[in-house]
Amino acid sequence: MSLLVKELSIDVQQTILDAIECIESGNLQIAFVVSDDKRLQGVVTNGDVRRYLLQGGLTDQPVTACMNREFRAVAVDTPREDLLKAFDLGYNALPGLDPEGRLVEVFTRQMAASAEAPVLARARAPVRMSFCGGGADLTYFFIDHPAAVLSCTVGLYAHATLVPRDDEQIRIFSEDLGHEEHYASIAELLVAADKSLLATIVAVIKPKYGFDLYLRSDFPVGSGLGGSSAATTATIAAFNELRQDRWSTYEIAELAFQAERLCFGIAGGWQDQYASAFGGFNLIEFENQRNLVHPIRLEDAIRNELESCLVLCDTGISHDSGRLHELQREEIEAESSQTELLSASVALCRRMHRYLIRGELRDFGRCLDEAWQLKKRFSSAISHGRLDDIYEAALSAGALGGKLLGAGGGGFFLFYVQPQHRQRVVQTVRELGCHTQNFRFESCGVTSWRMKIQ
Quick: pLDDT tens for 215-269.
999 988 888 899 999 999 999 999 999 999 999 999 999 999 999 999 999 988 9
Mean pLDDT calculated for residue range 183-197: 96
**pLDDT given for residue 427 in this prediction:** 97
Pick from 149, 162, 41: nearest CA to 103: 41
Could you state, in order of their start, the residue ranges of all structural domains in the chain?
Answer: 3-108, 120-442
Euclidean distance between CA atoms 382 and 325, whole angstroms? 10
Domains 3-108 and 120-442 are alike in CATH topology:
no
Report which of 67, 150, 100, 84 is spatially closest to residue 403, judged by C-alpha positions. 150
**pLDDT at residue 112, as a whole number:** 87
- Mean residue pLDDT of the chain comes to 92
Please report which confidence band the pLDDT of residue 48 belongs to, taking 50, 70 and 90 as the band edges: very high
Q: Is the pLDDT at 400 greater than 90, yes or no?
A: yes
Domain boundaries 120-442, CATH class: alpha beta
CA dihedral 447, 449, 453, 454 (to 10 degrees): -80
Q: Indicate the pairing of strand 74-75 with strand 40-45.
A: unpaired
| Res 223: pLDDT | 82
Over residues 297-313, mean pLDDT: 96
Going by DSSP bridges, is the β-strand pair 282-286/147-164 parallel, antiparallel, or unpaired? antiparallel
Q: What is the pLDDT of residue 114?
A: 83
Regarding the domain delimited by 3-108, which CATH topology (the fold level of the hierarchy) does it fall under? CBS-domain (3.10.580)
Produce one character per residue of 389-407: b if its CB has 16 or more CB atoms within 10 Å, e if not: ebbebbbebbbbbbbbbbb
Q: What is the pLDDT of residue 80?
A: 94
Q: Which residues of 98-131 are buried (b: 16+ CB within 10 A; e: fewer)?
A: eeeebbebbbbeebeeeeeeeebbbbbbbbbbbb
What is the mean pLDDT of the segment spanning 69-84? Answer: 94
For residue 15, the 8-state DSSP code is: B
pLDDT-above-90 percentage for the chain: 79
Residue 60, CA distances (Å) to 10, 53, 63, 163 in order: 14, 11, 9, 58
What mean pLDDT is predicted for residues 398-411? 89
Average pLDDT over residues 265-274: 93
Whole-number pLDDT of residue 53: 93
* pLDDT reading at 326 higher than 70: no
- Look at residue 321 in the predicted model and tell me its pLDDT: 53
Task: Give the pLDDT band of residue 328 (cuts 50, 70, 90).
Answer: low
Q: pLDDT tens for residues 151-179? A: 999 999 999 999 999 999 999 999 988 99
First and final C-alpha spacing in the chain = 23
Predicted local confidence at residue 121, as pLDDT: 98
**Residue 325: its pLDDT value, please?**
54
Which is higher by pLDDT, 318 or 201?
A: 201
Mean pLDDT of 351-378: 95
Q: Which amino acid is at 386?
A: R
Residue 436: closest CA among 425, 421, 426, 423? 426
Sheet with strand 9-11: strands edge to edge: 9-11, 30-34, 40-45
Q: Give the mean pLDDT of 264-287.
A: 95
Active site residues: 272
Stretch 187-210: mean pLDDT:
96
